[in-house]
Amino acid sequence: MSDLVQKLTANLKHQLDVIYSGISLNRSTDQLADELIDRMNLDDVTQEPKPFTNHWDESDAVLISYGDSIERKNGYSVTEAPLKTLHSFVSGPLKAAFNAIHILPFYPYSSDDGFSVINYSVVNEALGDWHDIRRLSADFRLMSDLVINHCSSRSVWFDQFIKGESPGRDYFRTELPSTDLTKVVRPRTTPLLRETQTVQGVQHVWCTFSPDQVDLDFTNPDVLIEFVKIVRLYLDQGVRIFRLDAVAFLWKETGTACINLRQTHEIIRLLRTLVEHACHDAVIITETNIPNQENLTYFGNANEAHCIYNFSLPPLLVNTLVSGDSTHLKRWLMTMPPCQDGTAYFNFVASHDGIGLRPVEGLLSEKELNGLINTMMGFGGRVSMRTLDDGSTRPYEINIALFDALQGTHAGPDKWGVQRFIAAHVIMLALEGIPGIYIHSMLGTRNDYARFENTQHNRHINRHRWDLGELEAQLGDAQSTHAQVYNRLIAILAIRRQQRAFHPNATQFTLQLGPHIFGIWRQSIDRRQSIFCLNNVSDQTVELSLIDINLIDSVTWIDLLTGQAIPDHQATLSLPPYGSLWLSNA
């Protein structure tokens, strides 16, 4: 055994000792460490990860899509594997804008559009096969979900649990219904425990999200071994970014909130250790839709998640643009610590889910939150609820297509929808971090009421499936809002990826220019480029004095978004409703 493997083994043993402290195991943590190394094929590892290394730069941007967001159809029949159709589509103009793609769960599933996984080791045949996944990974840095907290009640593992057969019989978390679980944080309104008839009698299985999504029991180290094998498989198929879905709920202890527990954090650190030794530039992103300060803990000391979802950004940014006031967005941004090297924020405005509301707890008042919810409902949105420990319910997320969410202000719909929508992305793309854009934002997709009515699933309002022919017709029509959004965002992304000051770890300062202007200053790591990012977040023209920005007179300043030079550094500029400037010295 090489010195490096010995060091890795010792590190893994320490992490396993932390995770399984106080738990009686059927083998030692030394043996478990050896198993992990074997499952990850690290017996002859020759490269040690370098700490505080950034595996990203300003050219990075992630496109987020379901495998079947775009389908090639003949009538109602899909005529081509959707993953092939998606690959063909993203290989066009989008390839100049994105170098990474997140394919949402592409495995066989029983509910929740993929997040109730039946089999982690195969591709859903309705989407394609592993060849299609590898082809995408050859052209894009591939991001995949590791749905780690739970699996489907129709999985082989759960069938084994019911029948009392190995290995699944010991894979699931059960609890007595008499146990006091009132402290458990709930993201849904469904019962926490599911009554299940097994060969050993009635068992009550823990279900954080739904009765079909049965929680795995990581106090059994064999469950951890299974997921390490899955990680190795995904690496072999070309996955380089792992999104740990719902990972905050992973470890349960009665008498606690069963969220963000120390064992959960240590498991993430262990997975990072393994992934980085297997592939030096592989990245872990934690999906933790929780209050902002709790979310930040998932960086650890640059030894846990490489990236965390910036969950507070979408509700704050949408609130800013419908209210015309950037005060809360600026106040929050000033509290966000700069990321250490080796870590980065993952920024987004829209996702396949909804606009989460827990991340703005303590950031927006109850009145402001209710105002935002009411405005979104007026624009056709839906609201999903969660259960509190006293049995009452509270809004958990707003379900709405982003284009519809930004069609107006608190006063109602107006004529500035496209400009407001573009402004949201211009702001997000300028912020410290790696940007991710949902494919339906790139396409300006509207609320899908037909799909929602068919399924009565709130999130389906924002999970439209485009017919390729119809989509191409829309994108070929210059007057179409879909074409306007698509072409403009591609152009902005192409500009962004050329700017060193937009490196995810470049310096960022928040500017104080009044409530109607949201401004930040970015400076490249080598300090050679500065960009002042200035955005009118209101539906009124705003006068902006460049004296307030203090541009250096000896430097030529150019608006990157238009290519126009700014000849008078003390001029007053008129920013139209939702207008933006990226003023750069280079």
Residues noted as catalytic: 245
243 annotated among ligand-binding-site residues = yes
How far apart CA 6 and CA 45 sit, in angstroms, is 10
How far apart CA 273 and CA 294 sit, in angstroms, is 22
CA distances from 253 to 178, 218, 222, 261 (A): 15, 11, 19, 8
374-384 burial: b if 16+ Cβ within 10 Å, else e: ebbeebbbbbb
How far apart CA 303 and CA 427 sit, in angstroms, is 29
Question: Residue ranges of the alpha helices (H) in 238-305?
Answer: 262-278, 292-296
352 annotated among ligand-binding-site residues = yes
DSSP codes of every residue in 117-132: BS-TTS--TTT--HHH
94 annotated among ligand-binding-site residues = no
How far apart CA 349 and CA 313 sit, in angstroms, is 7
353 annotated among ligand-binding-site residues = yes
**Is residue 79 within 8 Å of residue 73, measured between CB atoms?**
yes
204 annotated among ligand-binding-site residues = no
Which 8-state DSSP code applies to residue 558? E
How far apart CA 106 and CA 94 sit, in angstroms, is 21
459 annotated among ligand-binding-site residues = yes
260-276 burial: b if 16+ Cβ within 10 Å, else e: bbebbbbbbbbbbbbbb
39 annotated among ligand-binding-site residues = no
Angle, helix 313-323 to helix 327-335, in steps of 10 degrees: 150
**Is residue 127 within 8 Å of residue 82, measured between CB atoms?**
yes
How far apart CA 105 and CA 151 sit, in angstroms, is 12
Token reading at 25: 């195991």
Which 8-state DSSP code applies to residue 583? E
Cα-flanking dihedrals φ and ψ of residue 501, to 5°? Answer: -70, -10
Cα-flanking dihedrals φ and ψ of residue 565, to 5°? Answer: -80, 155
- What is the enclosing helix (H) or strand (E) of 65? strand 62-65
Q: Which residues contact 545 (CB under 8 A, 6 or more apart)?
A: 570, 571, 572
How far apart CA 97 and CA 429 sit, in angstroms, is 12
Cα-flanking dihedrals φ and ψ of residue 517, to 5°? Answer: -120, 120
Question: What does the chain come to in residues?
Answer: 586
406 annotated among ligand-binding-site residues = no
CA distances from 586 to 2, 56, 492, 551 (A): 49, 22, 17, 13
Provide the pairing of β-strand 283-286 with 466-467: unpaired
**Is residue 313 within 8 Å of residue 320, measured between CB atoms?**
no
How far apart CA 291 and CA 151 sit, in angstroms, is 25
What residues are designated binding site? Answer: 112, 150, 243-245, 352-353, 459
